[in-house]
């Protein structure tokens, strides 16, 4: 989604803004713009397309001279990508400029009101109403003007604002869209996401809903909506700069796939290890044994790949603990008036911790008095802060839009949770627990081994760059793996693909199979091998080319497949962590072969902060 950056200090602002926006490119955007106070007025440059264009237009920022400014990358929601719709937006004489991430939901009503009062609009965006409203309510005091505007606008927003009359100040405020600020060595910076500021500071302040911050060259002041000053504590970001850079890899996605062994290891054994003396210990759960024994139902709620991790979580947690688990898409859950059973808990899974639908689901659960556990990657994100407790996945910064390492870390968090609950509820023997812990410990090396055979997958993928349709089938956990494998392929290669529960094909979808259609079958659950093999035979006899991903030793599958990829032996609950690796590589190499923009697929954003 959109990215915002702001700077005020001793340096020239434009290069800092361009650099910050470049670090937010991964969020997805289709136009960009910056505004800088040049000593007389606020000067703006905007462009459609990649940031490169904006850098060229401003000679890497050198033609915009001034030490305070705001910048924006826009992911179009209201109005097509165009110069007029690109941010910053401004009032009639350009003395107030605004950048915005989020959606102003009541913008139509405000726009009409302002038009009736003679305001003219230059864009189709929801954001432009904020610039004109600031003008309309302008009192001479930026703070009180901003507060008046906040009382009129509805929706989600992180706003960066400059007033020509107050060139020594840059303002920012947020509601339901992320916003951070930090001191640099010679000024102050604001952004919608951590990577934009990492080069300048590791100590950041997370702005809460309806908090307003005023950045000056040498200080930052925080206010609440009553204009009272607030004391805030900074949070230290542990990620290092290199973790958010490409480090010699062709794409972030490839680098992040290669970071999976570490992400998995760090999630099992963070500094406060989650395995202690043969037991799974998750201190941050802050639930007593009694609380865990009393759980009657678990709802897992998430979007996209995080939802797919949740589908695996259902099989694992139900299998280990016999607690019923319902998995829901957050966008559905939030509007279906879920029936919360007594003694239930909600688990929200999210890499970014900012996904709008997941956040809304969290709030719904909490409003109903249900305990919420967040499984989150980004430290200090909204979901992490609003959940009753948070179990971090230690995958480090994930930049590629297509998630890989964060997904792998989410799986681990869910395994650990299932094991912990099983141990407390006595639904697992000591022998079984120690064998699970041993198998868990082997996963990082096994993933590394699978990554090492990437050339084999690449050769196979090269044959499918012209594919029109691909199907992924499996049963149980293998179905969950198929869901994720299918999303990986389609989101970056633009090849239509679908995941199907293998037994469901013959209820309609099998009619799509024709000569040469690629069907990828996942077989890692021994008790289901025979059933899925029958489904492979069914599609193969209708002309499909069958790729099988299965566990070493299951050579029986060869008679029903055209190509087989073996994964190492592991516990039946952990197979997703291994089987997904060649399938991620497959999606990646098909997309690379087609020349797609792998890290920034069209129409997609890394962090979906609007519903």
Tell whether residue 382 is a contact of ligand M6R (CB under 6 A): no
Tell whether residue 576 is a contact of ligand M6R (CB under 6 A): no
606 is catalytic: yes
Question: CB–CB of 605/496 below 8 Å?
Answer: no
User: At its nearest, how many Å lie between ligand M6R and the CB of residue 8?
Assistant: 30
Q: Choosing from 2, 214, 303, 596, which is the catalytic residue? A: 2
**Dihedral angle sign, alpha carbons of residues 600, 603, 604, 609:** positive
Question: How is 441-493 classified by DSSP, letter by letter?
Answer: HHHHHHHHHHHHTHHHHHHHHHTTTT-SEEEEEESTHHHHHHHHHHHHHHHHH
User: At its nearest, how many Å lie between ligand M6R and the CB of residue 573?
Assistant: 22
Exposure string for 102-115, b = 16+ CB within 10 A, e = fewer: bbbeebeebbeebe
Two structure tokens written together for 359: 């956040």
Q: Which residue has the tokens 């023997």?
A: 429
User: At its nearest, how many Å lie between ligand M6R and the CB of residue 282?
Assistant: 20
**By rule CB under 6 A, what string of x and - marks binding of each residue 322-341 to ligand M6R?**
--------------------
Tell whether residue 393 is a contact of ligand M6R (CB under 6 A): no
- Out of 4, 99, 180, 306, the residue judged to bind ligand M6R by CB under 6 A: 306
Instruction: Tell me the C-alpha to C-alpha distance, in Å, between residue 253 and each of 256, 363, 587.
Output: 5, 32, 11
Number of H-type helices and E-type strands within the chain: 18, 27
Judged by CB under 6 A, which stretch of 9-17, 47-55, 246-254, 345-353 contacts ligand M6R?
345-353
- Out of 352, 408, 570, 584, the residue judged to bind ligand M6R by CB under 6 A: 352
Tell whether residue 321 is a contact of ligand M6R (CB under 6 A): no
Q: Would you give the DSSP letter of residue 555?
A: G
Q: Could you say which residues in the range 484-513 bind ligand M6R, by CB under 6 A? A: 487, 491
Kindly determine how many residues on this chain lie close enough to bind ligand M6R according to the rule CB under 6 A: 16
Tell whether residue 584 is a contact of ligand M6R (CB under 6 A): no
- Out of 401, 502, 518, 560, the residue judged to bind ligand M6R by CB under 6 A: 401
Please name which of 358, 349, 333 lies closest in space to residue 411, comparing C-alpha atoms: 349
Tell whether residue 68 is a contact of ligand M6R (CB under 6 A): no
**Euclidean distance between CA atoms 554 and 568, whole angstroms:** 11
**Euclidean distance between CA atoms 260 and 431, whole angstroms:** 28
Nearer to ligand M6R, 101 or 125 (CB): 101
Tell whether residue 350 is a contact of ligand M6R (CB under 6 A): yes
For 210-324, where are the E strands, in sequence order?
212-215, 220-223, 229-230, 235-236, 275-276, 279-280, 297-302
Q: Would you give the DSSP letter of residue 341?
A: P
Please name which of 576, 579, 573 lies closest in space to residue 557, comparing C-alpha atoms: 579
Question: CB–CB of 331/611 below 8 Å?
Answer: yes
Tell whether residue 381 is a contact of ligand M6R (CB under 6 A): no
Tell whether residue 351 is a contact of ligand M6R (CB under 6 A): yes
- Out of 358, 446, 497, 517, the residue judged to bind ligand M6R by CB under 6 A: 358
In sequence order, the 6+-apart residues with CB closer than 8 A to the CB of 204 are: 180, 181, 182, 194, 197, 234, 235, 237, 380
End-to-end Cα spacing for the chain? 11
**Euclidean distance between CA atoms 416 and 266, whole angstroms:** 13
Judged by CB under 6 A, which stretch of 116-124, 347-355, 551-559, 567-575 contacts ligand M6R?
347-355
Tell whether residue 403 is a contact of ligand M6R (CB under 6 A): yes
Nearer to ligand M6R, 159 or 608 (CB): 608
User: At its nearest, how many Å lie between ligand M6R and the CB of residue 498?
Assistant: 15
Judged by CB under 6 A, which stretch of 210-218, 350-358, 543-551, 567-575 contacts ligand M6R?
350-358
**CB burial of residue 548 (10 Å; 0-12, 13-18, 19+):** buried
Tell whether residue 608 is a contact of ligand M6R (CB under 6 A): yes
Question: How is 62-99 classified by DSSP, letter by letter?
Answer: TTS--SEEEEEEE--SSS-S-TTTSSPEE-TTSSEEEE
Judged by CB under 6 A, which stretch of 230-238, 336-344, 346-354, 511-519 contacts ligand M6R?
346-354
Nearer to ligand M6R, 47 or 382 (CB): 382
User: At its nearest, how many Å lie between ligand M6R and the CB of residue 487?
Assistant: 6
255 is catalytic: no
**By rule CB under 6 A, what string of x and - marks binding of each residue 1-40 to ligand M6R?**
----------------------------------------
Judged by CB under 6 A, which stretch of 19-27, 32-40, 281-289, 398-406 contacts ligand M6R?
398-406
3 state DSSP class of 313: helix
- Out of 85, 91, 260, 305, the residue judged to bind ligand M6R by CB under 6 A: 305
Tell whether residue 374 is a contact of ligand M6R (CB under 6 A): no
Nearer to ligand M6R, 536 or 581 (CB): 581
Antiparallel, parallel or unpaired: β 96-104 and 155-163: antiparallel
Judged by CB under 6 A, which stretch of 80-88, 128-136, 401-409, 572-580 contacts ligand M6R?
401-409
Cross-strand pairs, 215: 170, 220
User: At its nearest, how many Å lie between ligand M6R and the CB of residue 492?
Assistant: 8
Residues that bind ligand M6R (CB under 6 A): 303-306, 350-352, 355, 358, 401-403, 487, 491, 607-608
Residues classed as catalytic: 2, 606
């Amino acid at each position: 989604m959109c990215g915002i950056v702001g700077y005020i200090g001793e340096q020239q602002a434009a290069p800092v803004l361009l650099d910050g926006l470049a670090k937010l490119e991964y969020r997805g955007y289709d136009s960009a713009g910056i505004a800088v106070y040049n000593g007389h007025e606020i000067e703006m440059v905007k462009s459609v397309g990649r940031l490169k264009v904006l850098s060229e237009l401003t000679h890497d920022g050198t033609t915009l001279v001034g030490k305070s400014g705001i910048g924006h990358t826009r992911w179009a929601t209201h109005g097509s990508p165009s110069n007029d719709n690109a941010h910053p937006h401004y009032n009639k004489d350009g003395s107030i400029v605004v950048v915005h991430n989020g959606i102003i939901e009541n913008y139509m009503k405000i726009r009409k009101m302002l038009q009736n009062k003679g305001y003219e609009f230059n864009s189709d965006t929801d954001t432009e109403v904020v610039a004109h409203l600031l003008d309309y309510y302008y009192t001479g005091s930026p703070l009180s003007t901003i507060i008046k505007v906040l009382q009129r606008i509805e929706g989600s927003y992180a706003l960066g604002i400059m007033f020509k009359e107050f060139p020594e100040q840059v303002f920012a405020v947020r509601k339901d869209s992320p916003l951070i600020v930090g001191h640099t060595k010679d000024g102050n910076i604001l952004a919608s996401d951590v990577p934009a500021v990492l080069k300048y500071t590791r100590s950041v302040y997370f702005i809460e809903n309806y908090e307003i911050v005023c950045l000056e060259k040498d200080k930052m002041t925080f206010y609440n909506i009553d204009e009272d000053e607030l004391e805030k504590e900074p949070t230290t970001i542990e990620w290092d700069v290199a973790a958010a850079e490409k480090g010699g890899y062709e794409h972030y996605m490839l680098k992040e796939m290669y970071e999976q062994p570490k992400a998995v290891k760090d999630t099992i054994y963070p500094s406060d290890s989650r395995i202690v003396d043969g037991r799974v210990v998750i201190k941050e759960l802050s639930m007593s044994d009694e609380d865990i024994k009393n759980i009657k139902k678990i709802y897992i709620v998430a979007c996209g790949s995080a939802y797919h991790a949740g589908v695996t979580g259902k099989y694992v947690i139900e299998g280990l603990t016999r607690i019923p688990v319902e998995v829901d898409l957050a966008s559905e859950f939030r509007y279906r008036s879920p029936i919360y059973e007594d003694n239930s808990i909600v688990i929200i899974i999210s890499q970014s911790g900012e996904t709008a639908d997941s956040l809304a689901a969290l709030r719904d659960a909490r409003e109903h008095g249900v305990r919420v556990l967040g499984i989150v990657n980004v430290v200090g994100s909204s979901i992490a802060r609003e959940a009753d407790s948070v179990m971090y996945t230690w995958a480090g910064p994930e930049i590629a839009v297509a998630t890989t390492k964060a997904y792998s870390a989410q799986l681990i968090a869910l395994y650990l949770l299932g094991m912990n609950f099983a141990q407390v509820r006595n639904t697992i023997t000591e022998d079984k627990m120690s064998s699970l812990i041993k198998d868990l410990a082997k996963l990082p090396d096994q993933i590394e081994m699978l990554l090492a055979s990437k050339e084999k997958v690449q050769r196979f993928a090269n044959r499918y760059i012209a594919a029109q349709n691909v199907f992924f089938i499996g049963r149980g956990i293998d179905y969950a793996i198929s869901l994720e494998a299918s999303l990986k392929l389609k989101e970056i290669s633009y090849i239509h693909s679908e995941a199907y529960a293998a037994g469901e094909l013959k209820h309609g979808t099998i009619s799509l199979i024709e000569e040469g259609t690629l069907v990828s079958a996942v077989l890692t659950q021994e008790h289901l091998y025979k059933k899925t093999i029958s489904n492979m035979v069914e599609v193969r006899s209708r002309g499909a080319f069958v790729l099988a991903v299965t566990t070493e030793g299951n050579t029986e599958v060869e008679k029903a497949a055209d190509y087989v990829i073996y994964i190492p032996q592991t516990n039946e609950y952990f197979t997703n962590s291994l089987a997904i690796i060649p399938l991620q590589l497959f999606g990646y190499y098909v997309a690379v072969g087609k020349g797609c923009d792998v890290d920034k697929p069209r129409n997609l954003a890394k962090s979906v902060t609007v519903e």
